[in-house]
Each structure stands twice: as C-alpha cells, then as structure tokens.
Structure 1
Amino acid sequence: MRVKQEIKQEVEEDVFVVFEDTPMSRAANRQAATSNTENGSMDQSLPIEDRHPAPIVDLDHQLAARNRDKIHTTHLSYKDFVGQPSKIGSRPWISGFKDGEPVHMDQQKFCQTLEDGTNLFSVPQVPTLVKRIKGLNMKIPLNLGFPSLHEYLQSQEHADVTVIDSFKQKALSKKMKISEVINRFKTPAHERDICINILSNEESGSGTKFDKEFRPPRLVEESLEKRLERVLIRKKDRVEEELEDELITEQRKEELTEQKKRIEQQMNTFPKYLKFVIVSMGGSFTKVHIDFSASSVFYHVFKGTKIFYLAQPTEENIKIYKEYETSVKTKKKWIVEAMENQWERLVIKAGMTAIIPSGYIHAVYTPEDSIVVGGNFLMEDQIARQFELSRVEEKMLEKGMLDYGSLYKEFNNVMFSYTENILFEKLANLQENPVDDIEELKEQTSAMMNNLSKSDLATWYSEEEQKQIIEKLKQLIPVEWVPVEKIPEAEVPVAIPMAPVEAEEPEAVPELNLMRTRHQRACKRAAGTSQIPIKRRRRNN
C-alpha cells in the first residue's frame, strides 16, 4: 500500500533469486554447463565441490543430481537466468520470476491459518490467514469484480486514480480514470504495454458505492486510531452539551468554543487508511517493504490471488531492512539474499483475508489480475516500533528517497493527540481507575517519552503546544516508575529505564516545581498503595 518514489540511482545489479526446477531453469543450467565446459572454465555459481571441469557426457544426469542436492531448487543469479541484468519488477525480471516462483518458502515457520475469524477479536501476534470471512464482522459488497469496478469506485468527486506501472516500479505522470483502468484490463495479458498496479486508492469518505457498502473487520476497532476517534467524539459531545447551558460565563464559553474548534479540526483531518481498493494486473510485483509507520494491515482478496513473502521483524532483520532502505549505493546485495533463510510464503486466494501485524517485512507478487481491499492502522502495544519506522521514513523523505504520499501523513498528529486525550487521562487517574495491564501502560509511556518530540509534521499543534504536551507528560509519569533526573529533555528524547534505579540524590534539579509536585504526589500515593514491581513484558516476534 506504500508507493515509493523511484530513486534516481536505481539498483542495476545481479540479484539473487531462488528458482524451482522448471523446464526454463533446466534449460538455462544446461546451456551454462555446456558453455563452461567448452571454454574450460568453472561455473562459479555452483558449490565448491561442483567447481571442476567435466566432459559433456550426460548433462541431464548431472543436472538431476545437482538439483537433488539442492532440494529441487536451482540457485542462479538474475543475469544467469535471464541473460542480462535488469530492474526488480521489470517485464523480463517478472518473466523469470514467475517461472521459478519460490514455492519452497511454503514451509510454515511463523504464519498461522484459521478456518474463519470467529475467535479473532484483536490483531494476532503473527501473520494470520483467515480462509473465510465468517466471524470477522466485515461487510463486503458480494458482487464487486472487474465488470462492476466502475460502479463501485466512480463518483463525481472521486474520478481519477494514481496508477503505478509495475514494470517500471513508478507512478504514471498522469492519473487514470476508472473507466480507462477497466478497459486496460480487458486487453490480453501478452498485449499489455504497462502492468497496472493501483496501491494508493483510498475510498474512506469518497462517497462511492464501495465506501458506503464496505466495513472493515471488527479487530480494527481495537486500533489506536479508533480508540482516539471515540474519545474525541465523546469530548465533543460533552463540550456541546456544556455550551447549551445558559448559566456558563462568557470566558468559559470562549474556552469551550476553542476546544470544540480544535476537536473538529482533528476529526476533519483524521487518518483515512481503512478502505484501500488495490487493483493489480497479473505480473505486478511490490518490492520488499514495511507498511508505512509499521502499521498493521488487513488484506481481503475479492478476485484473483496475491502471494506474500514475509520475514519477521527481528532486531537483526529490521537492522538489515533499515540499512537497505536508506543506502544510496548503486551496487548492493538484494535484501532477499541478505535475509535468505528468513522468508515465508503466504498465498491469499479469493475470499481469504490476511492479517499482518506491525513491522513484518514483505514483498507481494500478483500471479493473476486481482482486486483487493485492505486497511492500515496503528496499535497501542506497538508505539515504539511505529515511531522507529516513522523516523526512518522521515529521514528518507528528507533525502528525496521517499515521497510525502508514501508516509502515514498524520502519524505525529495522532501521537500528540493520543498523548493529550488518552495517555494523560490514564496517568492522571491511575490510582482512582487502575488499568488492567500496568506493564503495557508503562511500555506505552516509555515509548512516548523516548520518541515524542517537536515536529513540523504535527500540524494539529503549534510548536509551543507540542512542547507543553511533552512537559506535561513528564509531570504525570509516576515517580516510582522513572526517577526525575532520568526524564529526558523535550527537545532531545532519550531512552527511559523502565525499572527503578538506585541513585543518589541529585545535586541540582533544574525543574524545582516539577520535583515538588511529583514528590507530593508520590507521598500521597505511598499512603494508600505499595510500590508496584516493574517487569518488562517480552515481545513475541
């Protein structure tokens, strides 16, 4: 769902692809073996034990033995397979890839499959394939397809869509009308001059038939955005109710009017990422990526098939991914090779739904014309990871390696608003209204203190307002969680220890009022409650 701007220095290199034992790969092997033998040279793509000149006696026998040793797969560089280097996703690259599509990745490592969504109430910890929509509480238009696409997506205000030519891995200079998109799909595959891949068409609030008839699965209701949206709606209702009171003072009326204006501004520009309609031609390939801001994803296939290649967001994999994404080298190892043994293949057929948790690295191949609906959303228990990837994307934006449309544009706004409207209330009322999971609240608070900082992208708040929110968060952190002297400066977020640290009394504390306030609150709490033991919750990657 993310559309990257094509980097000027596109990688043109030999890439590592794992191909099945197909007629094409056998022919390529036979040709390479013949050429190497005739020239008296050794095939450097073979294991060391196979690197010796051999007479051409029985090539089929040699190839069969070699393939048995490699578990029915043949490792070839892209140049060896196609005959010339090319860009990932291009027509010749796809021609080779589809013939050797790596089905050996089917061995289940970390994904899971469910028959339906009856017991799926929240985002699972691992990528999950749901075979039937029963229990997901997702409303879908049953007759959506290529013949009816125009009917569902066309409206007076919403007529054109951004189209990516997958063979070139970049968007066309001009948007395309839905009617033209449909006509292009009527063209036989071998006659198509471009490979259409529509990834950024979001229908929320568009007024289209699809917008009116589609409802995301219920697990989305547990997202950070939905929780925030519900709080804003309640606050607006309370403000409007108080404004109707004839006894309020003019000063109070002005304050409430300003509050209402702020809430409405946020609601009017609230993130809309839950109704993407993805329309792809067979042969489309989306390069390895993590969805913007490490958002979680639901992905329902209406027509066709999609194949995901997924890798877990382990510390090492994320490190490789970030280095790969931010590197400007013209020659670099393809990330699929760098993470060779990390991938799992997930096939999503028509009628199936996939749920991909935060941070999973993946590429997507479309073997046949397909229509998909998907949505991106944030989760409260993934704040740290979502910040981490957002900061990487912002750096890439600064370097011109990513366009603004590829970002979760409201990410910083949402994080400040969540802190102000939800996190503050949780912390302020902690003693009167204890939370169910104290460890989770500590992690959320830590993630915010480590990462929340003034940003030009946080347009819902002025620079001074952002600073005030950060300072208030410092004041509300329970003193037994984090010593005062360990609280970072607002301008330079640093790591916060989650366990209490035995430390000597600081010689000088720059914020005396803050210290006094926190000390008084700590004494008050000590009278009625014991210190809470602090443990860091393990994450299941």
Structure 2
Amino acid sequence: MPAENTLQLYCYCRSPDSPEDKRFMIGQLHEGNTAVEEKRFTKILQSKTFAKDRFEHLVNGEDVTLERFRRTGLKEPILIERMEGLGMEMPEGGLTVSDVADMCGRTRTIDVIEVSTQTERSMTLNEWAKYFDQPPEKRERILNVISLEISDTPLSQKCLRPKVVRDLDWIETVWPSDLKVKEYPRVQLYCLMSVADSYTDFHIDFGGSSVFYHLLSGEKVFYFIEPTKANLKKYEKWSSSPDQGATFLGDEVKECVEVRIGAGTT
C-alpha cells in the first residue's frame, strides 16, 4: 500500500478495573502528502509545539498482562514495537483496502468522515476502495473510515486480538454465552482506513473504554491530553461549544503529547 495511507485494526475493551474517567483524550493524524487543498488540520498541527512522547515503549508484548493492568490501572498508553508475546494475530502478506472490501462485502454501506468538516457521509466499500486507490491528486476530498466493525466478516478470521484484551473484554467474560451467536455488542474489532492528512478531532472513546491499535501500514500520529479534572472540564466546554471546529483543544490545556507510530506497532 502507498506509504501515504494507513490501514489499522483496533478494538474497544471495557473492564471493571479501568475507571471510565481515566481514558486519555485523543486526536489523530495520518501522515503523508496529498495535492488536495483540504489540509487545514495538518497546517494547524504543523504550526504547534507539542510535548515529547514520554510513554512506556516495550520491545514486545511479553510483559503486557492482565496482572500488570490490575496492578498499574493502565493509566497511560503503552507502545509495543513488535507483536511477539501479545498472543495476537494479524493478516499477513500485505492487506489492501481492496482486500478489505472483498472480505467485508463491496456492497456494504459504511460511514465515511469528511475530514475538513468532521461530518459523516455514506458510501459502499466498493466506492471507498476505488477512492482510496486513486492517486492523491485525484481526490476532491480527504475522507477517513474509522467505524468499520468487522467481527462477523471473513476478515475477522485472520485476526486475533491480544490475549490481555480478550482477558479484559466484558463480551468475552460476562456476556451470556447463549447470546454470543447472534445478540451481542459488535464493538470488538474495527478496521480503520485513512488516506494522507486524515484527522480525527479530540475525543474520549465511548463508555470510557480502553482501546488497542495495531498499525498494518503507513504512519499514525496521536495527540494525547491527560484526563485531569481541569482538562475534562475544558474538554466538556469545548465539545459543547458552537466554535468547536474553529478551536484546537490542545491550545486550551497545559500539555498535549505527540506520539508517532509506524507499521507493526501496537
């Protein structure tokens, strides 16, 4: 896949050991070059100064266990450079967006984010694959897919979430087994597909859930704001403001941390 684009898999995970008011507020940028003049968020970010990545980096996932999370509370993000030891499986052989469309159904309608306005539109996976694969200069809009849930598709058979995620997941540990076949919250596994200069504005994942990401290709930049009481009040004010789209939340807080990750990182 072109280096300008990113393809990633992630899931939400809720646990009674993870208080919902401790999830970081996150903004996300997908790096690259594009000729489309819609890069207002990229320009904003390039004009800012951010705190350096201070989070823990691990070579592999051997130490990422349920016992560790219970002991530490998972209060900050952890970056794992290699997936060995995580008990995780991901598609091999260079998964493409066209592959995703084939395995999830090309006629399936998906929600797509128009980055410049952060609003949603709908298109089929076939339309999305054609858009994604065209040269950057041909794209009239920068679009981003962040909500394609794949649990009941052939693609999910090529993926196994990290063991610690499965150990924490309420659907795995609490949801009645007789309901898992047809009736359960389908929030376990997502496929995100982003062209260059895609941006997702600051947010707290729903229900205070914890999230794991694995980047299959490209580069992704996260912007983290610690969920202190003061910052949460500023976030609440910002998220309900009519001027939200014109205000960069990182300017309203004391510190915003920039973290860059590349392909193969979890």
Q: Which category of TM-score, normalised to the shorter sequence, fits these structures?
A: 0.7 to 0.9
Aligned counterparts of 1:327 and 1:146: Cα–Cα separation in 2: 36
Quote the Cα distance in structure 1 between the aligned partners of 2:99 and 2:239: 38
Separation in structure 2 between the aligned mates of residue 332 and residue 198 of structure 1, nearest angstrom = 22
Determine if contact 2:39/2:197 at 8 Å carries over to the other structure: no
User: In the alignment, what sits opposite 1:321?
Assistant: 235
Q: CA deviation at 1:268?
A: 3.8
Report the 3-state secondary structure (helix = DSSP H, G, I; strand = E; otherwise coil) of the residue aligned with 1:163: strand
Matches within 5 A, 1:261-280: 264=179, 268-280=182-194
- Asked whether the 8 Å contact 2:150–2:190 carries over to 1, the reply is yes
Change (3 A) 1:92 1:277: closer
TM-score scaled by length of structure 2:
0.75
- Determine helix, strand or coil for the equivalent of 1:181: helix
Structure 2 counterpart of 1:336: 250
Name the structure 2 match of 1:370.
none
Q: Counterpart in 2 of 1:162?
A: 111
Residue type of the partner of 1:309?
Y
State the one-letter code of the partner of 1:163.
V
SS at 2:96's partner residue?
coil
- The equivalent of 1:129 in structure 2 is 79
Q: CA deviation at 1:160?
A: 2.3
Alignment of 1:396-415 (within 5 A): none
Q: What is the 5 A alignment of 1:147-226?
A: 147-154=98-105, 159-172=108-121, 175-205=122-152, 208-220=153-165, 221-226=167-172
Q: Helix, strand or coil: the match of 1:299?
A: strand
Hey, what does 1:345 align to over in structure 2?
Answer: 258
Counterpart contact for 2:50–2:256, Cα < 8 Å? yes
Deviations 1:89-109, CA, capped at 9 Å, x for gaps: x815145246x265x535234
In structure 2, relative to structure 1, the CA distance for the partners of 1:326 and 1:147 (3 Å cut) is: closer
**Candidates 61, 76, 86, aligned match of 1:117:** 61
Quick one: which amino acid aligns to residue 116 of structure 1? N
- Taking the aligned partners of 1:333 and 1:159, their CA distance within structure 2 comes to 35
Q: Which residue of 2 aligns with 1:304?
A: 218
Q: Where in structure 1 are there 5+ consecutive unaligned residues?
A: 2-89, 237-263, 354-541
Aligned residue identity for 2:147: S
Q: Give the 3 Å change call, closer, same or farther, for CA 106–134 of structure 1 in structure 2.
A: farther
For the 8 Å contact 2:97–2:193, the answer to whether it is kept is no
Name the structure 1 match of 2:34: none
Residues 256-275 of structure 1 show CA distances to partners (whole Å, capped at 9, x for unaligned) of: xxxxxxxx4x8743212121
Post-superposition Cα deviations, 1:435-456, rounded to whole Å, max 9, x if no partner, equal xxxxxxxxxxxxxxxxxxxxxx
Relative contact order, higher structure (CA 8 A, sep 6+): 2
- Matched residue SS, 1:271: coil
Contiguous gaps of at least 5 residues in structure 2 = 1-9, 11-36
Deviation per CA, 1:396-434: give whole Å up to 9, x if none. Answer: xxxxxxxxxxxxxxxxxxxxxxxxxxxxxxxxxxxxxxx
Distance 1:101 1:225, change over 3 A: farther
Which residue identity is paired with 1:187? Answer: Q
Q: Structure 1's 214 and 95: CA in aligned 2 closer, same or farther, altered over 3 A?
A: closer
Letter of the 2:115 counterpart: S
CA contact (8 A) 2:222 2:258 kept: yes
Match of 2:172, SS state, is helix
Do the aligned partners of residues 185 and 92 (structure 1) sit closer, same or farther apart at CA in structure 2, a change above 3 Å counting? closer
- Separation in 2 of the partners of 1:210 and 1:114? 28
SS in 2 for 1:148: helix
Q: Which has the larger Rg?
A: 1
Larger strand share, 1 or 2 = 2
Higher normalized helix content (fraction of residues):
1
Q: Which amino acid aligns with 1:171?
A: E
Q: Secondary structure at the match of 1:200?
A: strand
Shift of the alpha carbon at 1:224? 3.3
Q: Which residue of 1 aligns with 2:195?
A: 281
Report the counterpart of residue 19 of structure 2 in structure 1. Answer: none
Aligned positions of 1:504-523 closer than 5 A: none
Cα deviation code 1:103-157 (max 9, x no counterpart):
x535234x211111111013433111111111111111113123533333227xx
Structure 1 segments, 4+ long, off by >6 Å, are: none
Q: Residues of 1 paired with 2:86 and 2:47: CA distance?
A: 31
Alignment coverage as a number of residue pairs:
223
Instruction: Say whether the 8 Å CA contact 2:149–2:187 is kept in structure 1.
Output: yes
- Given that residues 118 and 134 in structure 1 are in contact (C-alpha distance below 8 angstroms), is that contact kept between their aligned partners in structure 2? yes
Q: AA paired with 1:152?
A: M
Structure 2 counterpart SS, 1:199: strand
Using the TM superposition, give the Cα deviation of residue 190 of structure 1 relative to its aligned residue in structure 2, in angstroms: 2.3
Confirm or deny: 8 A CA contact 2:114 2:141 kept in the other structure.
yes
Task: Return the alpha-carbon distance in structure 2 between the equivalents of residues 216 and 91 of structure 1.
Answer: 35
Q: Which residue of 2 aligns with 1:459?
A: none
SS in 1 for 2:147: coil
Q: Whole-Å Cα distance in 1 between the matches of residues 125 and 111 of structure 2? A: 10
Paired residues of 2:51 and 2:255 also in contact (CA < 8 A): no
**Distance in 2 separating the partners of 1:201 and 1:325:** 24
Q: How far 1:334 sits from its partner (Å)?
A: 3.5
Using the alignment, how far apart are the partners of 1:302 and 1:330 within structure 2? 31
RMSD in angstroms over aligned alpha carbons?
2.6
Q: Which residue of 1 aligns with 2:30?
A: none
Equivalent position amino acid for 1:210 in 2: L
User: 8 Å contact 2:116–2:142 — kept in the other structure?
Assistant: yes
